[in-house]
Chains A and B, each alone.
Chain A
Amino acid sequence: KAEKHLEAAIPALEAAEQALNQIKPADIATLKKLAKPPNLIMRIMDGVLILRNMEVLKTQQDPDKAPQHLPVPSWKGAQKMMNDTAFLNSLLTFPKDEITDETVELLQPYFDMDDFTFEAAKKVSGNVAGLCSWCIAMGTYHNIAKEVEPLREK
């Protein structure tokens, strides 16, 4: 029964993997050079930083989005992360069973934003929108795996 339940996460995981495979190293090379990429792209990269337990900035009003408050994106940290040539591969092999409840709660504000979707990201960034699908799939996987765990133990 537990296994069947976990199958519910598979389509999201497969979609995420496919989306990651669409991203070419050249896409990342272009992206990381941008001094000021679209705000949505910077927020998606914040999601990636949080999933990897890497540093992000404190919550402060984002001058770009005033008067609406958004966490100011940690673009410099994201650029540094993308300098690693193994960046894309590290996402494909990401240890998704090590995601914690706390991490998923930290992603929640991003998931709650209306434009945090593959479609919206695709419009502003092309292939790197796959990173958005990846963040969402990691959250979905964790939540389903958590429900399944007690069933497995039985």
Chain B
Amino acid sequence: MSIKDALKKFEQKSQEKAAEATHIKLWFQDPPIERLDAALKQCVNCERLSLSTNNIERISNLQGLDKLKILSLARNCLKKVEGLDAVASTLEELWLSYNNIERLQPITVCPKLKVVCLGNNNITSLAEVEKLAALGELEEVVLKNNPFMDGMSEQEYRFAVIKAIPQLKKLDGRPIEPDEKEQALA
């Protein structure tokens, strides 16, 4: 389904205008959305854009979403993090679990990111995770079920991530207690 049609459906269902709504719900469209297009730019008031459970392959066309704080693209077909420059100055949460993402690098263009969800992706090395340390405001990450943790115990995995991103407060939804942090950094 095109973004234009999905927005039309959303307007009918929610009785809100796409240009006014702060939370635009386009999760799981029938048939699934395959690409993001310029029709998104009418969502000028959108703070949370929900595009999860579709078949989107690339992040693009986010221009005009000047208030966007939460971008949800979980359970799609993304292979990389890209196209975030347009929302870099406002974006606080990026939900990307259940995709095929291997590399994270351009994520650091978004200095305000507090929450990054990347569970069930294809991150094969801890070095990739370490790149998240450059995000000064980062508090929470979800990384469960990525290949880099194969062969690690739950504890080894948590310690490795806490060490890689010392500013973290929560990992996979579980708070990092001072004790745990101390042990991880020891």
Contacts and interface: CB of A to CB of B under 8 A. Distances in A.
Interface of A: 53-56, 58-61, 68-69, 71, 95, 97-103, 105-106, 108-109, 112
B21 to A, nearest CB: 16
B159 interface: no
A97 to B, nearest CB: 8
Given A69-B31, A106-B52, 5 more contacts: A98-B173, A100-B142, A105-B72, A106-B74, A109-B28
Contacts of B55: 58-60
A84 to B, nearest CB: 15
B95 A105 contact: yes
Contacts, number: 76
B45 interface: no
Contact of B95 (A53, A61, A102, A108): A102
A59 B144 contact: no
A62 to B, nearest CB: 11
Contact of B53 (A55, A59, A68): A59
B6 interface: no
Contacts of A59: 28, 32, 53-55, 75-76
Given A59-B55, A68-B30, A53 B72 contact: no
10 contacts: A53-B142, A53-B172, A95-B173, A100-B140, A102-B72, A105-B95, A106-B53, A106-B75, A106-B98, A109-B53
A71 B53 contact: yes
A109 B142 contact: no
A98 B98 contact: no
A61 B70 CA distance: 28
Most buried by B among A58, A68, A100, A102: A102
Interface in B26-81: 27-28, 30-32, 50, 52-55, 70, 72, 74-77
B74 A105 contact: yes
Contact of A56 (B27, B32, B75, B77): B75
A98 B145 CA distance: 16
Contact of B120 (A53, A71, A99, A109): A53
A105 B173 CA distance: 15
Contacts of B145: 53-55
A74 to B, nearest CB: 11
Nearest to A71: B53
Contacts of A108: 25, 27-28, 52-53
Name, among B54, B72, B145, B173, the residue most crowded by chain A CB atoms within 10 Å (CB to CB). Answer: B173
B70 to A, nearest CB: 8
A69 B32 contact: yes
Contact of A98 (B25, B50, B76, B172): B172
Closest 3 CB pairs of A and B: A98-B173, A109-B28, A102-B95
B172 to A, nearest CB: 7
